[in-house]
Amino acid sequence: MNSKLLFAVIIAIPFNLATLNPTLAADSEKGKTVAICHKPGTPAQKTLVLPTSAAASHVAEHGDLQGTCDAAVLPPGTGVTLFGAGNTSVTVEANSVPFEAYIGIAPAMPADFAADPGNLVSLGGVKLLLAPTQFNLSVLPPTLPLTLSIPAPAGLPPDTVVLVAQQIFTDSLGDPANNVEPSLKEQFVAVGVASVVDGNIVTQAGVLPGVFSGGLFSFFQLNTGFATGTVSDPTGTRAGITVGNNTNTIVAVTNAAGTYTLPISGSCPCPFSVTGFDPFRGSSGSTGGNVASDGGLATANIALAPLATPAITRDGIRNSGFERGDLSSWALAGSGTTRQSLVSSAATIMPTEGQWMADINTGSGSIGAIGSSIKQRFTVPANVRTLRLDFNFVSEEFPEFVGSQFNDAFTAVITTPQGDILFAQTSVNSANNVTLIGDCNFPGGDNTCGQTGWMEGSVDLSMFSGTGTPIQVDLIFSTLDAGDDIYDTHVLVDNIRFSTVWIDAKILQGPTIAANANLARVNNEVRGVNEILSQAGVNARVRNVQTVATTDALVDTDITWTTGLGCPGGTVNGILTAESAAVLALARSATATDVNVYYIRSGTGLAGVGGYALGPDDFCSAINILVNSGTFQMDIGMGGNILAHELGHLLVSPATAGNILEHSAPAGNFLSTTPAIGVLNRQQSANINRVGAPLPLP
């Protein structure tokens, strides 16, 4: 392990190694000494700084850990109890953390917390460090919860029920009645329960899952019980939904199954209401319930529905490629839908990207039978420049009514603080190079129909994309049937973006084993990527998906992490294994700016890894971003969040994966090592959209 790497990372997470151990901070840089945690979890636990040879024998003979006791290095599969300052401790169960990790615990002061505790009484808090020692990868959480312990305040009754909440940067629907706008903010998220044991407050199994990550945790006295339930919308159960309640300021975030559990405060029987909010779809829902007695559990399922005006907490345009297969996140006035194709008697019109496109038309359901529009208010992402869209004007008015009063039209308008900007338009009379495509089978009944073909509209929004000044604008697409309400016009819209990142996916298959991936998995994960990267104005598109025949050894790729001497600019000199280099050479896209994504079965040499990014910031000598970079996606790492995480490591640069824009980002961020709910902040957006960034294209 590279001592400079250890030092650089520890000070980025909530522990300052130089403060905890000045000797280590000074000497490990010179390679003379190394710190170890001697006899962890025993009364003799202490940090020692020893010559490297002596430290090695301690680790081998006494079960000591590398690193200080405040920030030790936990070998894969090791079970240990580690004491921190102030009589705090953390216990890791054996075989629950399959990867090498930094582990440490220390007291947290009230000033460390930005989240509002409301009416809850805090009994103490901790800073918990749990992070993989290798940074450019996604790891799964421990298989068993960590056990945290803090001293109990004097006089605390032994039957006290304690709530454990983690501070996470997540979505708030606000309070419309009191003019509190929706926002992203630090909130306490319920994660576990604890009880009083021998003068300490100790986390334990209970109605909440427990502690599975590092971060800031507060312990609150709980007086009542819990609400639990499932959050769903017409598409099914929804993960990543923020759920709040009207009895305290604690929130929950739904798990992969769409379920939540929240503490309820008050005197029992305790009536309550809970509200769920989907930040990506802009939908919300509320329901009520009653906790019958102290410690009770009440079920309250939440059904989400679109808000008339979708609330905005995240930057960027939602559902900009319409790949959800609907118009969710858009406010529809009149007649509109999504479709996978428009088929006439002489042509088939397909989306310009993905599988879906919007259709805004003057048909049945349009306002006054002549007009329709879709609209979305959004926050302009940091450092973006030109907004683009593709549109195709298809009308029954062609060709016989060209030049008449039946001049159906399309407009694209953006409403900004500086006024309206019309940035795309066409009409029956102004359209050029119209192609007749036979009978479109529109309800008007005209058997002649024409299309303009796909055209591009664009507008420069750079004056509204300052990093520190979020600005909201309205994007409106409208169609109008002029002169009559008989013959219809349909305008197809697709691929709304500030930039595009192209993905070339390879699924590795050996003689006897293969990655568990297919076209459906790739498309599903790219849809998830778009939800997250849209916060930076990025639209991910699939260039190609292919199965690549190779050896079984490469399907289970060796990703063992080693480093050489450091590189200029603070980047890391990771050493590629022979197998990693061989995989990165397979079937590379002919387009240098494409991201080559390799689906492998597993990564050997590092257990518990779901995704792995290989870019020049962490392999400064071995990787060139346009020549041999890429990501590895493992079978255990399915989902758009993990692919988005790995793409983020390649897009954010020049910065090693351990810095504040990546793994050391706040809890809830799409690149953090703590529970990620897909937040992409404005500093990350500004970096992704920097001038000269090699991967995002117009």
pLDDT, tens digit (0-9, with 9 covering 90-100), for 652-682: 988 777 788 988 888 899 998 776 689 999 9
Q: Of 229, 207, 205, which Cα lies nearest the Cα of 144?
A: 205
CB 124 within 8 A of CB 95: no
Share of the chain above pLDDT 70, in %: 91
Res. 625: pLDDT tops 90: yes
Pick the residue with more confidence: 355 or 59?
A: 355
* Residue 53's pLDDT band (cuts 50, 70, 90): low
What is the tens place of the pLDDT at every residue in 519-551? Answer: 999 999 999 999 999 999 999 999 999 999 999
Q: How confident is the model over 125-150, as pLDDT tens digits? A: 999 999 888 767 788 899 999 999 99
As a whole number of angstroms, the distance between CA 622 and CA 70 comes to 33
Residue 10: predicted pLDDT: 27
Using the Cα atoms of residue 632, residue 633, residue 636 and residue 640 in order, give the sign of their dihedral: positive
Could you report the per-residue pLDDT of 581-603, keeping only the tens digit for each?
999 999 999 999 999 999 999 99
pLDDT at 306: 87
Helix (H) or strand (E) holding 538: strand 538-549
Return the pLDDT at 432.
Answer: 84
Strand-pair partners of 88: 84
241-280 residue pLDDT tens: 999 999 999 999 999 899 999 999 988 889 999 999 999 9
Average pLDDT over residues 214-229: 93
Give residue limits of the domains in the chain.
3-184+192-222, 237-308, 331-497, 499-688
**Location of structure tokens 């419309």:** 176
Q: Which residues contact 132 (CB under 8 A, 6 or more apart)?
A: 99, 100, 101, 102, 139, 673
pTM, full prediction: 0.87
Whether the per-residue pLDDT at 151 is higher than 90: the answer is yes
Give the tokens for residue 490. 């349909």
Mean pLDDT of 318-344: 94
* Mean pLDDT along residues 45-72: 71
Residue 293, exposed/middle/buried by CB under 10 A (0-12, 13-18, 19+)? exposed
Across 284-288, 369-373, 503-507, least confident range = 369-373
User: Predicted confidence band at 61 (pLDDT cuts at 50, 70, 90)?
Assistant: low
We find that the CATH architecture of domain 499-688 is 3-Layer(aba) Sandwich (3.40)
**CA distance between the termini of the chain:** 40
Query: Residue 120 pLDDT > 50, yes or no?
Result: yes
Of 238-242, 267-271, 415-419, the one with minimum mean pLDDT is 267-271
Q: What is the pLDDT of residues 168-196, one digit of tens each?
A: 999 998 876 777 888 999 999 999 999 99
HEC states along 468-485?
Answer: CCCCEEEEEEEEECCCCC
Q: Does domain 331-497 have CATH number 1.10.8?
A: no
pLDDT at 222: 87
Cβ-Cβ contacts under 8 Å for 486 (sequence gap 6 or more) = 444
Q: Which residue has the tokens 């202490």?
A: 46
